[in-house]
Amino acid sequence: LIIYHPSLAHIATGSFTSVPLLFFQSSKPVSSLVTTPSNGLKYTVDECNVLSMKEREFFEENGFFVVKGLVAQNDLDKYRERFQKICNKQVPAPMNMIIMKDVAIAKSEYMQGDRAITKIQDFQADPVLFQYCSHPGVLKYAEQFIGKDMMAMHTMLINKPPDPGSKSSRHPLHQDLHYFPFRPADRIVASWTAMEHVDRRNGCLVVLPGSHRAGKLLRHDYPDWEGGVNKMYHGVRDFDENAPRVHLVMEAGDTVFFHPLLIHGSGMNTTNGFRKAISCHYASSHCEYIDVKGTVQENIEKEVIGVARKRLGDDVQFKFQDIWYLKGRLVNGERVNL
């Protein structure tokens, strides 16, 4: 087990410095689940002891935590093979799976099979890829952040392509909570596993340590990029662009867990190869759905519902929360609210 800590700054590109706390007015809690343990830590739970107190304090301060070699190579190979078969239509894709191309990829040389696909989302119904979400090692750590009753709410296998010169392979800095109509944020955590070596050359994750501590979801919108922006790649607005950043250099099987308010993104892939990673967002099943109308999330609600209506028809009646209810799948414990 290795974690990112100031004393381990040499394993990431760039320096690791202390981050000044940003003072924003926190939103009012929507659930009684928002409690502060007697030890004062709010982003992990006391019922699980996979992390030491020092490691929990590191997550408290920085909002992310890296476990080295958590997922074995044979598992990664299995996910990679399944991805290729889905892209090549050798196995049927589940009905609700979303298969995406880079905004510039249709004009590039990468037109066939897995070289044409940059991401698949919502693979909860695929029996092979979903094994990642129920991976015992991943679940063991996820439980430390959200408790025993766990839902897999959002899944992705990312196949970041070589950038064709448009810089569209970037992912703007954002907070994952922007996409989620459920709370509390402190009982949601992402796992993101590198499927091969990742560094700044092929677009590793970059995080703003401690940015989750402000406790506020910021306004998001499409960035003004000349080369185009991929669908729903919203970026955060009105944040401190001079805040220290850490680029997470990772090897195959390394897994980072991070808070949904942590500001993060990824850069261009400047290599000739594709950079693969697999990810799942977990939430405590005790979380509650909220109405996002009139909030900074209203724009993503409208966009998601618009996409869903194109697939389901204008006569189908549903809410933003309904879409997420159908996405969610229990991975441990009991399904309570979500």
What pLDDT is attached to residue 1?
35
What pLDDT is attached to residue 241?
86
Is 50 exceeded by the pLDDT of residue 134? Answer: yes
| The two three-digit tokens of residue 97, written as one number | 């799976």
Is 60 exceeded by the pLDDT of residue 111? Answer: no
Question: Is residue 165 very low, low, confident or very high in pLDDT (cuts 50, 70, 90)?
Answer: confident
The reply to whether 3 falls in a domain is no
The reply to whether 10 falls in a domain is no
pTM of the model as a whole: 0.85
Residues 6+ positions from 197 with CB-CB distance below 8 Å: 250, 251, 252
The reply to whether 77 falls in a domain is yes
Is 70 exceeded by the pLDDT of residue 146? Answer: yes
Question: Is residue 17 very low, low, confident or very high in pLDDT (cuts 50, 70, 90)?
Answer: very low
What pLDDT, in 10s, does the model give residues 1-10? 333 333 233 2
Is 90 exceeded by the pLDDT of residue 129? Answer: yes
The reply to whether 119 falls in a domain is yes
Domains in the chain, number: 1
The reply to whether 115 falls in a domain is yes
What pLDDT is attached to residue 229?
61
Please state, for a pLDDT cut of 90, what percent of the chain lies above it. Answer: 66
What pLDDT is attached to residue 114?
76
Backbone dihedral angles phi then psi of residue 208, each to the nearest 5 degrees: -105, 95
Buried b or exposed e, range 58-69, using 16+ CB within 10 angstroms: bbbbbbbbbbee
The reply to whether 34 falls in a domain is no
Question: Is residue 103 very low, low, confident or very high in pLDDT (cuts 50, 70, 90)?
Answer: low
Is 50 exceeded by the pLDDT of residue 24? Answer: no
Look up the domain containing 113 and give its range: 53-332
| The two three-digit tokens of residue 245, written as one number | 């950043």
What pLDDT is attached to residue 135?
98
Is 90 exceeded by the pLDDT of residue 324? Answer: yes
What pLDDT is attached to residue 291?
96
| The two three-digit tokens of residue 76, written as one number | 């990664």
Residue labelled with tokens 């490691």 = 55
Question: Is residue 276 very low, low, confident or very high in pLDDT (cuts 50, 70, 90)?
Answer: very high
What pLDDT, in 10s, does the model give residues 30-66? 333 334 445 789 999 999 999 999 999 999 999 999 9
What pLDDT is attached to residue 25?
26
- CATH number of the domain bearing residue 322: 2.60.120.620
The reply to whether 18 falls in a domain is no
The reply to whether 326 falls in a domain is yes
What pLDDT is attached to residue 12?
32
Q: What mean pLDDT value characterizes the chain?
A: 85
Handedness of CA 70, 75, 77, 82 (dihedral sign): negative
Please report, for residues 160, 274, 275, the alpha-carbon distance to residue 120 in angstroms, rounded to integers and kept in the order given.
Answer: 11, 14, 14
What pLDDT is attached to residue 225?
61
Please report, for residues 49, 90, 131, 147, 176, the alpha-carbon distance to residue 44 in angstroms, rounded to integers and kept in the order given.
Answer: 10, 41, 24, 8, 18
What pLDDT is attached to residue 239?
85
Radius of gyration from C-alpha coordinates of the chain: 19
Is 90 exceeded by the pLDDT of residue 333? Answer: yes
What pLDDT is attached to residue 8?
33
